[in-house]
Amino acid sequence: MAKSTQSTRSRLRKITMAVLAPTMALGATVGLASAPASAAVWNSCDQWGNTSLNGYTLYNNIWGSGAGSQCIWANSGTNWGVWANHPNTGGIKSYPNSKKVINKSITSLGSLTSSYNVTVPSSGAYNTSYDIWDTDYDYEIMLWVNYNGAVGPLGTSQGNVTLGGHTWTVYKGNNGANEVFSFLRTSDSNSGTVNILPILKWIKDTKGWFGNETIGDVQFGYEITSSSGGLDFQTNNLTVSSS
């Protein structure tokens, strides 16, 4: 994607996370036909629909211009999905996600790990990614575990590195509001475990790109650029654990 697109995404999401009210808006269930047969405990088609379930906060988060319709459903904070029908145009339309708040400095963390299992479409343009922020939203660390279509990271390639149980191509950029470090898995994965702490320590200690930041949000979701006709994205299981 164009750098200007990524820059807009980061600025808008930073503003959104800073001001988003915790009000839950329940929408219609249009587009949720592919949700599990058992009724989801929560769903919303509202642009900023959000709720908290078992220690995780879920967001529908339709933030990009030119977006179509999108609905999110959840059986829990770790089992949820999205139906999205966004036009086949450029620019990220949404980042539906589940968020776990950490609020620990890198040096005070003994561990920070996450496991994921997803079912994603073979068409459309999107990435499945972690989005990790410090508490001041000065630094954004993205971990792309799979991606499809015309999408790409901000910044320039820093080469490949094997960290946290995966091999990544690393990109470093700045959108004018914050630094962005993107780690793109060199092959797509729909399930696995990521040891996040070594990635943070590599950025801090090996590269010196930031100091002993306090990690705030660990988000996991789908950055969707296009899903024309309606596509399903399902998080079968997600866990984020820290000590």
What's the pTM? 0.86
Q: Give which of 133, 141, 125 is closest to 223, Cα–Cα.
A: 125
How sure is the predictor about 225, in pLDDT bands with cuts at 50, 70 and 90? very high
CA distances from 108 to 104, 140, 193 (A): 6, 19, 21
Rounded mean pLDDT, 81-110: 97
Q: DSSP string covering 183-216, please?
A: EEESS--SEEEEEHHHHHHIIIIII-SS-SPEEE
* Residue-level pLDDT at 38: 53
What are the residues whose beta carbons fall under 8 Å from the beta carbon of 197, sequence distance 6 or more? 106, 109, 111, 112, 113, 164
CATH topology of domain 3-226: Jelly Rolls (2.60.120)
What are the residues whose beta carbons fall under 8 Å from the beta carbon of 27, sequence distance 6 or more? 43, 44, 45, 46, 49, 71
Does residue 30 carry a pLDDT above 60? Answer: no
